[in-house]
Chain A
């Protein structure tokens, strides 16, 4: 199968590539609409700023192709800022529009505890999750962010609590995302990536 990491000039592609390669999964990078079109599954990694990410996707004419790929049924995994990009808007960049796969918005976490939310935290599961299959209930995942989606309707399948409850795992049809970094979350993170690859019809 062809798994592509969406390359837009930022994000931490090598670490995701390495994590996939440890699972025996080959990936390629896709930075053009044509490259996206021929893929069986897509991963949108993300580090940085919501506005910068959306502008980079826009400059590469990748916004519409990404939305079209999702509507065709291509499995998509968003990571960290890649999760946030799936929403309509973000407090981080009030003027910019996201991929709008979900109508809700990304909020600045209220400063009731230390921010950025940096380090390893556990999840609270709300609904059955394909990404979390085989993952122990008390597993820790690595987070590094100050913004988060507080609500994603039925798509919010697991939450984390830091400053406020927020969506940690998002699943709806062929769309998947994690606010944490599976590629930085040790063996349980590898399990999440493996689950995504299997959902996408591959072997891992």
Chain B
């Protein structure tokens, strides 16, 4: 008996529709979030993440409606985020039906936001999302959807974020994102060693072997992927059967 490694499909949205792109650019439409959510709920996803990558203030009501539509399809946990800058925006996302919220840019600018969110909703509801890119011999955190460098060391930031109240880290490798060349295991392992909370690896998912690597070498607690699931390149059931056969604890779902 042990905690299962989670497989998490991610819906990147423009607030309303699922979109996808490579290295955060060249976005194109990939479907209706609620329809995809319904599919993943049945196929054995352990959790779902839905992000508003546009995160414009004007669009926020649309995204909240998207969260409501997605949550209505799920009997599994839902994490949502994108542009959350204060406690009220966090509350709106949780009230719309998310169980956890992600914060990224606003937390780097003001780490006390993590403390405020954790005090209000509990650490278990606060996921610190970090977009990291290899720069020299370290990884640097980027903000605003990966467009703005911060000069901040991603591993040190993860550690500080947990000290401030984050209950989970979602680490996205910008070098790997959209490339289907495998997760960034060294980055994930560094983050995993640095913090005491669960770590979700993101960016680079491809074959079942790449998931095995990120759980073993990357020491990830969960792995997130988008297009390989959206495009039916990889089925959730087959992926979990493979991992189970390799001795990874996963929740099998029939």
Contacts and interface: CB of A to CB of B under 8 A. Distances in A.
Interface of A: 12, 14-15, 18-19, 22, 47-49, 111, 113-124, 140, 142, 144-146, 160-162, 181, 183-187, 189-190
Among A48, A113, A186, the most chain B Cβ lie within 10 Å of the Cβ of A186
B74 to A, nearest CB: 8
Contact of A111 (B100, B167, B196): B196
B198 A114 contact: yes
Given A19-B75, A47-B122, A48-B121, A114 B197 contact: yes
Interface residues of B, number: 31
Nearest to A116: B124
A13 to B, nearest CB: 10
Contact of B4 (A12, A119, A144, A181): A119
B233 interface: no
A124 B77 contact: no
B3 interface: yes
Among B4, B75, B197, the most chain A Cβ lie within 10 Å of the Cβ of B75
A15 to B, nearest CB: 7
Given A14-B97, A184-B77, A186-B76, A119 B198 contact: yes
B198 A118 contact: yes
Interface string B73-108: 001110000000000000000000101100000000
A118 B99 contact: no
10 contacts: A14-B71, A15-B97, A116-B123, A116-B167, A118-B124, A120-B46, A142-B76, A144-B99, A144-B125, A190-B75
Interface in B191-225: 196-198, 221-222
B6 A124 contact: no
